[in-house]
């Protein structure tokens, strides 16, 4: 699914630096105009600051992958988990990375093999400003409106507080811009 997400981003004019344990997978995406990297360290070096690293790995190796990447990252960088991790793990990871001033965004992603054509449904959680910064990526990956009429009142947006910082949690399934999205905080 990650490779097709890269293809969708490239098709819309985004730049993508890619790394995979399989050099063949990297070579295939480089042939499609992605920038290849040979290791996690090489990936980090090739990204523009502030870096945004999107993980598409099985839930069982997310912590191991973060442990490899975090020492290479700097304050202000963003780490995105695109898997469907247990939310308690996401809260823990956000706190751990916040101590290093690295932003964490959890983006449960669904779309499978049809995502390249149809787009990906994402459940996005993270700090409001960081999510807004990443919004162009989310808009590209999200499904378009298509030919099916929308169900009125089906857009869900809420805001929560996580580790004392404003965070946003929202469903992003329509492909619409989130420009009109305004967070609200409760005491």
Q: Domain coordinates of the chain in residue numbers? A: 49-172
Decide if 88 contacts 63 (C-beta within 8 A).
Answer: no
Which of 5-14, 77-86, 104-113, 167-176 has the least mean pLDDT? 167-176
Rounded to an integer, what distance in angstroms lies between the CA atom of residue 120 and that of residue 80?
15
Q: Which tens digit of pLDDT belongs to each residue from 142-185? A: 987 665 566 676 554 443 333 334 444 433 333 333 433 333 33
Virtual CA dihedral for 173, 178, 181, 183, nearest 10 degrees? 90
Q: Which tens digit of pLDDT belongs to each residue from 28-54? A: 999 999 999 999 999 999 999 999 999
Mapping DSSP onto H, E and C, the string for the chain reads: CHHHHHHHHHHCCCCCEECCCCHHHHHHHHCCCCEECCCHHHHHHHCCCCCEEEECCCHHHHHHHHHHHHHHCCCCCEEEECCCCCHHHHHHHHHHHHCCCCEEEEEEEECHHHHHHHCCEEEEEEEHHHHHHHHHHHHHHCCCCCCCCCCCCCCCEEEEEECCEEEEEEEECCCCCCCCCCCCCCC
CATH T-level topology, domain 49-172: Rossmann fold (3.40.50)
Please, which pLDDT band fits residue 84 given cuts at 50, 70 and 90?
confident
**Mean per-residue pLDDT for 111-134?**
92
Question: Percent of the chain having pLDDT more than 90?
Answer: 70
Rounded to an integer, what distance in angstroms lies between the CA atom of residue 173 and that of residue 4?
17
Residue 100: the pLDDT is 97
Rounded to an integer, what distance in angstroms lies between the CA atom of residue 42 and that of residue 59?
23
Rounded to an integer, what distance in angstroms lies between the CA atom of residue 165 and that of residue 133?
16
- Average pLDDT of the residues of the chain: 83
| Residue 163: half-sphere exposure toward Cβ, Cα within 13 Å | 17
């Amino acid at each position: 699914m990650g490779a097709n997400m890269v293809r969708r981003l490239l098709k819309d004019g985004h730049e993508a630096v890619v790394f995979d344990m399989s050099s063949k997978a990297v070579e295939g995406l480089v042939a499609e105009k992605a920038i290849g990297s040979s290791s996690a360290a090489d990936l980090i070096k090739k990204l523009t600051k502030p870096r945004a690293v999107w993980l598409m790995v099985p839930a069982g190796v997310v912590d191991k992958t973060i442990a490899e990447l975090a020492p290479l990252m700097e304050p202000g960088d963003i780490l995105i988990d695109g898997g469907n991790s247990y939310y308690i793990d996401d809260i823990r990871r956000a706190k751990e990375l916040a101590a290093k001033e690295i932003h964490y965004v959890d983006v449960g992603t669904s779309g499978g093999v049809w995502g390249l054509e149809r787009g990906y449904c994402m459940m996005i959680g993270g700090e409001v400003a960081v999510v807004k910064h990443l919004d162009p990526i989310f808009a590209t990956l999200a499904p378009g409106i298509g030919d099916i009429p929308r169900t009125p009142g089906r857009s869900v947006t809420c805001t929560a507080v996580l580790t004392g910082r404003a965070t946003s949690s929202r469903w992003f399934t329509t492909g619409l811009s989130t420009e009109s999205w305004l967070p609200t905080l409760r005491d």
